Amino acid sequence: MRVETNTPLDKLLDGGIEDDAITNIYGPPGSGKTNITLSTALSVCNSSKKVVYIDTEGSFSVDRFEQLGGTDKEMKSILFLHVHSWEEQHKAFQGLEKLIDKNIGLIIVDSFVALYRLELDEKNFQHINKQLATQYSILSRITRTERIPVLVTNQVYSKGETIELTSRAIAKYWSKTLVELRKTEKENQRVAILRKHRSLPEGRTIEFLITKDGMKQVGKFSIL
C-alpha cells in the first residue's frame, strides 16, 4: 500500500510512501523537505485520517499549509507535538504509542535530528545515539504493527565532496526508504534521488519545482 504525498515524489516512489515503513527524506535547508511533509499531511487529512506531527524546529507554517490547500478542517486533524529539547523529544517518543489509534493515518517527524545535533558531544555520544536508535525503533514498531506510514526529515553534512545524512548509520538501518533532495542552479528547482528502497531501483531521479501552490515536476524522470 502507498500513501500519496501529492508531490512529484509519488512518481519517484511508484505511488507514494509505504504504509509499513519509515520513509526518510534528507537534504540541505530549503531543499523542500517541509513542503513535502505538509503536502503529505494534507493528503492524509483529506482522506479523513489524522496526522501526528512532531515538530522540532517550529518548521510548520500555517500560511504555507493554506497555500497548499489546507483549511481549518484539515488543521483540526493534525495532532501537534512541539518539542524544544532533545530530552523533550525523547519523552515524546516514549509516549507516542499511547496516542496511536485507528484514526491515525500518518506520523511525521520534522526534523528528526535537529535537536540531536545540538545535544551530541564527545562525552554523551553513545548515550544520545542509543536514544536516537530507540526513537527509530518505536517508529518502526508502530509502522509495522499498525501499518501507519512514517515520514521523517533529516539534515545533512558535507564529507569532502560527498553529502551524507546526519546519524547516517542509524538512519540508514531503520529507514526502508531514503530520498535525497538537492538544490539546482535554477531558482526553486530541486532534484529528488532515490537512495534506498525495498522494491524500487536506487538512483532513479525526478526534478521538481517548488511553486506557490505546491510542487510540480519539471525536466526528466530518470529510471536507472
> Cα–Cα distance between 82 and 55 in angstroms, integer?
5
Give the orientation angle of helix 86-94 with respect to helix 125-146, to 10 degrees.
30
Q: Whole-angstrom Cα distance, residue 164 to residue 5?
A: 24
pTM for the predicted model, two decimal places: 0.94
DSSP state for residue 49 in the 8-state scheme: -
- pLDDT under 50 in the chain at which residues? none
pLDDT tens sequence across 175-200? 999 999 999 999 999 999 999 999 99
Q: Cα–Cα distance between 152 and 26 in angstroms, integer?
A: 8
Domain 2-179 of CATH type 3.40.50.300: yes
Which tens digit of pLDDT belongs to each residue from 88-101?
Answer: 999 999 999 999 99
How far apart CA 206 and CA 208 sit, in angstroms, is 7
Percent with pLDDT over 70 in the chain: 94
